Structure 1
Amino acid sequence: MPTDPTRVSPGKPGPVGGEQLARSRQRQGQRSAQRRTNGRQGSGRTRPLDNEGLIPILARAVREIESAVERGQAVSVRSRFQAVALLAREERARVRSDTTMTEAKRDGELKRLDGIATILAQTAAREPSLFSLLAEDAKVSDQASEMRKAMLERAGVEVAEDEVEEPDPLALPTERRVVPQSVLARQLANPFLVPDFTASSHNRGQARRLAGWELLGPLFRSFEEVGNGASTTMPLPEAREVMLPGALQLMKHQAEVVASAADGHRTFLLADEPGLGKTAQALLAAEATDAFPLLAVVPNVVKMNWAREAGIWVPHRTSTVIHGDGHDINGFADIVVVNYEVLDRHVGWLGDFGFRGMVVDEAHFIKNKTSQRSQNVLNVADRIRARTGRPLLFALTGTPLINDIEDFQAIWEYLGWVDDKKPLGSLMDALEETGLTPADPGFYRAARSCVVSQGIVRRRKVDVAKDIPARRIADIPVELDDEMGRSIREAEAELARRLVARYESALATRRGEAHLDDDGIDHELVRRVATWEREDSSEESSGENVFGMMRRIGQAKAGLAADYAAQLARNVGKVVFFAKHIDVMDAAQETFKRRGLRYSSIRGDQTRVARERNIKEFVEDPEVSVIVCSLSAAGVGINLQVASNLVLAELSWTDAEQTQAIDRVHRIGQDEPVTAWRIIAAQTIDTKVAELIDSKAGLAARALDGQDIDASSVDVQVEALVALLTEALLNR
């Protein structure tokens, strides 16, 4: 709450500018003096000075507000409360700056304003929901603006019409705007892209019975006041069979959302917990409604995973990922994936591309409406709605809806349910149909139901546990597109060149006949060269070898992996973060510190007492969100089942080591399905190592009679070098 309880930020220029208001006040004072003079010369009756001007009007209004709150009718006076607070702030500033006033007069006026401020503060203390109207960034409702204007007019202040030109919502900064050449080619190939205005309902939903009521505040409050037993998921149809490529299967809770889209629903706030397949649901809903081209706005850490998931679930649809200025994108793709960080460069052409669907992943990223990121997303969505009557819109987030519900206003605006002042379209129609107003006791439960029915879907892992494995590994590919990433790829290329040179030298001096396949490769010799390279390398050695590659990749992934763990922690609670190397753990902890997350750690150099203290802190302190663990120090002997999500920032050399880490969480007593999020550096040797670990694990799982045939770490290292050398030989 601001120091001055009457201080309210108007959110946009008010109807009276500062200089104009001062001049109007001066004219008001002159007229009042003239009236007093006329009164003395005429009937002899004078109006007491204390009953003139704005302050008496504010004093009466604040007493009425206080009385209404005492009677439990706070909702009906929210707009008046805001108008009084705004005018009291303005009047205080005017009195302080008025050089024509005597000191005694100024002190008296300020004392009366302090009394008004005190009543406002005490009233807000009785009804805490009013505090939001005193915040620096509080929006002034239309009703509050009208009341403010009426009070000024009653006080004799001339109020001019607002001459401030509304900003053009499309007038965003253009300094970094780009239009990729392939997009220009697409536009030239299809120059007559006709907007689709059919079935547009965006402008429906006019307030009738609820006209004049402030509704956004009560809608937010309905999620706070309506607690246990209230639904968090819209009515969904029965799951229907969905034709999927290969051996893929859709879980029941996923199929229900796809069926809802197929039945005609077009806006979804999909808030399932992480691990329940929100990406697949959005992609298959787009397929069911032919909502292509489809735009996906996502965090940088998951944009490669979006392209990968699209290739899995809708493989017949082409996808393209925008990096930087987008020089290498496919302008004819069905699915365009862009991360928040570069959206500002592409917001111009994306709004005119002709998208029929849009997905915003980790949608809580846009909760701050004043940020450029949020403005860009809302801008593109508005323009898509303007071109397509009923686009498919998904907002994906794992954040529970009952925490900081007002943060979801931007998401509701993106989905077209509200604007910055009132409900829109079908939501307003639904509120009208309840027959209730915010003054009625049953309004909040009915209002919450109306919002949920617009498209909120929230399922927890424990709710659908029978549909998902008790333990699973989910890969998150990340793109290393910074300087370190380029350096790693160059070093990997140098290692491949050295292996090729060694192979060619051995092939030239080999005794006997070479056994070449159709591609001209001697695979037996390839394996020997890989084995020699592995024997010549060690984890302590310098130079470009398989160990150095993996360590550098771990360092490059550290920040991205920690960012993903931070997202999980804010979405679902406690997270276990595993890494192999100390510098990766250090980088992760720095990221958590910057994100304002409390963490503890388990490292090899800790004493037994320190280790036990840190484990207890993570398990028992609800404020400790993450525990950063060394794979070697924390892989065995500890119980972290208070969490059901873990992040593997670096790959192990064996499936056994990876499994031991997962088993710190997946233990007897764990009552939720466990998900291990494995961060993989795309287009590097990291992907080869991940595939090898999984293939060796599959062999072990199929071993007969309990025989353990899990590959050793040396096997995986050699196989990774074999894959690297074979690929280099094929690409010569």
Structure 2
Amino acid sequence: GLRGALHPSAQPRRRGSREHARLPAIRADPFCVPELDRFLAERGVWIDPQALTLLQEIRERHAAAAGLVELSAATDAPLEIAGLGGELKPFQRAGVSYLLAQRRAFLADEQGLGKTIEALATLESAQAYPAIVVCPASLKLNWLRELERWLPQRSAQALRGNGSGEEIAAADITVLNYDILAPRLQELARIGAQALVLDEAHYCKNAAAKRTQAVQRLAGEIPREGFVLALTGTPVVNRPTELISQLRILGRLEDFGSGAQFGERFRGHDAHLRLHWHLRARCFVRRLKEDVLKQLPAKTRAVVPVELDNEGEYRHAERDLIGWLRSQPLDLGELDAKVAAAMRAERLVRLNALKVLAARGKLHAALTWIHDFCSSGERLVVFAHHREMQRAVLEHFPAALHILGSDSHAARDAALEAFQGPDDASNQLIVCSIEAAGHGLTLTRSSNVAFLELDWTPAKHDQAEDRCHRIGQQDAVNAYYLLAAGTIDETISTLLERKRAVIGAVTDGREQDEEGVLDALVRELRGVPYRHLRAVA
């Protein structure tokens, strides 16, 4: 509404005797134009001639941006690209059209809509070679596979190791992982790249991280007329300010002012909606599955409450933790930064220890549930976070495939191919690490995914679910969360759903308040009773 477009303390510069001179001023934000015009028309508001000039200027800025805002959500666009090894879907053509127009932008389509394909099509349409792709190490093989399929006429290579200063061989597309980027910067700068593609670009949300700084330097080597594409279905993992370092890498932060101005500008009643609109007007294309893939069945989430077999041990640890939390300050923001950081780290360690205890207590029930589910003959993807849980599942199901952090990239690729192959008794179950297999991979041979543990951010669960819920899936996807009732599992689950709403406020343009999951969990444990889980029918 207009409330968020008002400066509460702003006053017109010219003070006169007229009553309107004492009224608050409306922020000159093009986002507000449609609602402002409706308000003026409905109320018959008189407009000062000087204000009318400014209003017309804002209307023109809104009109100029409207086309890009529309294209950023378009589900089709006329576009022909020679040389592709397949045919783009209509919404993918629209995405490529937006990227070709803006050149430095987020490609933030929801998980499973083929961002890799859109990025490759953009490079080919613009002939933006040589190009560099930076991605997580576990996705390098996937990029090479997609390159071979979609751009068979282009040469591609994947870099390994830190290098020794030697020249990188000539290739149209060079793929490397974030971990080896910093030591390779000088060699990469000599490539003369015309495009940089950052897969899982939210890896660069922390401006102080060495990885982010290395990516920033590499992006600076791309000519201004070149392409910098940030691929991520979750550009905001926790809070909107994580966009600042990513916008800086794209060379788009100046469109929003400085980092400090970004935070100042996008606050208030409608801050998330305004930020969402301005992103789409400049450098953000995003479509949801429900908008573009009507043939893709809906994804459903179900909580499966399970019982603890270490109830006494868990409750004792829980009481100790709650007592300790109540002895600590609730708001760490009031403390010295170093003291607050140390206390937050200790909180995290203690909370994680309680999470592990709950995981151990529900393990027997979880293994029984997996066994019963597999008896149906359907395939299942199981995600677990801690190695202890991963090993326990594999010991119980020794024939299961696995994609874990300790597996080599070759072993992960072999497990992926086996799971995606024809039905066989040996590929009904695959056990995965949320970190190693939670993004970039396709596991569409299963329409069922189960989580034995919860992460601190809903984005990781959403990405893991979308290993099954993506292009190629023919069935409805069911995500089962095996949670210990009446434990920390239950509270975190509630808070993660709250966090999903906050993240959606920026990425999908919905209004919500935000609070960190960790801080909210501490607040809940200190005094708010658990909301008991309801069993799945």
Same fold (TM over 0.5): no
Please give the TM-score of this superposition, normalised by the length of structure 2: 0.45
Report which of the two structures shows the higher radius of gyration computed on alpha carbons: 1
| Higher RCO (C-alpha under 8 Å, 6+ residues apart) | 2
